[in-house]
Copies of this chain bind each other. A is one copy, B any other.
Amino acid sequence: MTTNLPHRTERDEALRERAQRVIPKGMYGHQSVARLPEGYPQFFSHGEGSHVWDVDGNEYIDYMCAYGPIVLGHRHPAVERAAAAQQARGDTFTGPTERIVELAEQLVAITPHADWAWFAKNGTDATTYAVTVARVHTGRRVLMRAAGAYHGASPLWMPGPAGPEDGAYQLSYRYNDLESVRAAAAEANGDLAAIIVSPFRHDAGHVQELPTLEFVHGVRDICDATGAVLILDDVRAGFRLDLGGSWAPFGVKPDLAAYSKAIANGYALAGVTGGAQLHDAAGSVFATGSFWFSGVAMAAATATIATMEETDGIGQMERVGTLLREGLAGQARAHGLRVTQSGPVQMPFLSFDSDDLEARDIPRALRFTSEAVKRGVYFHPTHNWFLSAAHTAEDVERTLVMTDAAFAAVRDTFGADA
């Protein structure tokens, strides 16, 4: 087995130069590689299953899965078939297709907390709609969110140039710190509309943190006691931990859940599910978009969810994710490097204990991921990774050959940990 070097970059570089001339800063948003180390391609060519190829023909085992959307693997046949069947009829009309009813019925059937479903295009559309529904339902204004948590990229979620008014009536709490939730709820002083929470702490640039049982039940209890709406932001984790919603295993029902990313295996779709108690408020909020009713992404979603169910996609990710976690742990140990692997194995993250992640002083992580990507293993130095159900034990085996070399490079440069 080779290590996939030399790593070619000519075409990527040429495209970057062209992009610099016609796209702000050459690329924008979370898919800009400006902050990633040497070796990362900016432009991709194609994908198949758990593998992707960049525009120079370099092949990668894909541990980012488009930052989440690809949950069954690239170009999964069942999904592509369902999407193509709808595309042959048309996608975007002056009204929805039958696909919206089928998908809503399917989500309501598999989701313990859901009596209805609603669809849009972006995760931000879903989280924003959920907050508006909660405010309408309660007649209150304050939104509580965890400090540092990402819930979207609009002025509501990232108050910016217009000043604090962009994010008026927001209070923060600390993830897994129930006391801070209680304090913020008290500060809201009867005006608490909603608490939004991620199923686990997956803030980029931090070690991931699973929720404590106390926190999960405590947040639900505080909402019940105050009449606030509990919004689960399942945009990033949805359909990777539990098909019924990421807090279903705890037996805790949110009032509203926001989905996107993996819902349609890469087709653009977002959704909100909610309980009957929110139905009237949900129906009274006007929010819409030109492509929110398009049929192809909905056909893809129905096929994605059905295939995940039929093939135990989550179980497959857990098995392969465990192999990866154990393999990486053993290698790091063998190289004398202390690492922390955090989050569910389906959405893993590895950090080096001798780096200072909080200060973003992470030379080991940058070196490790740079060496890995140049050898055909696509990890991310600061953002959690994603497995898909297409990842296999053989992928992990091949991955570990490359990571062994990447760990060796880290040790050779920075030395073993004491």
Check if B93 sits within 8 Å of A44, measured CB to CB. Answer: yes
What interface size band does chain A fall in? Answer: 35 or more
In the assembled complex, A94 has its CB within 8 A of some CB on chain B: yes
Q: What is the chain B residue whose CB lies nearest that of A22?
A: B104
Instruction: Give the shortest distance, in Å, between A301 (CB) and chain B (any CB).
Output: 13
Alpha-carbon separation in the docked complex, A256 to B83 (Å): 35
Residues of B within 8 A of A118 (CB): 23-24, 28
A residues 59-80 touching B (CB-CB < 8 Å): 62, 64-70, 74-75, 80
Residues of B within 8 A of A83 (CB): 87
Partner of A44, one of B27, B48, B94: B94
Check if A46 sits within 8 Å of B89, measured CB to CB. Answer: yes
In the assembled complex, A33 has its CB within 8 A of some CB on chain B: yes
Check if A260 sits within 8 Å of B55, measured CB to CB. Answer: no
Jot down 15 A-B pairs with beta carbons below 8 A, ordered by A: A15-B101, A23-B100, A23-B101, A24-B279, A28-B282, A30-B288, A43-B101, A44-B96, A47-B90, A52-B94, A121-B289, A121-B291, A154-B156, A261-B290, A268-B291
Count the copies.
2
Q: What is the chain B residue whose CB lies nearest that of A107?
A: B22
A residues 357-377 touching B (CB-CB < 8 Å): none
> Which A residues contact B (CB, under 8 angstroms)?
15, 18-19, 22-25, 27-31, 33, 41-48, 52, 54-55, 62, 64-70, 74-75, 80, 83, 87, 89-98, 100-101, 104-105, 107-108, 115-118, 120-125, 128, 132, 135-136, 139, 141, 153-156, 158, 160-163, 165-166, 168-169, 193, 235, 260-261, 266-268, 279, 282-294, 297, 378
Check if B155 sits within 8 Å of A128, measured CB to CB. Answer: yes
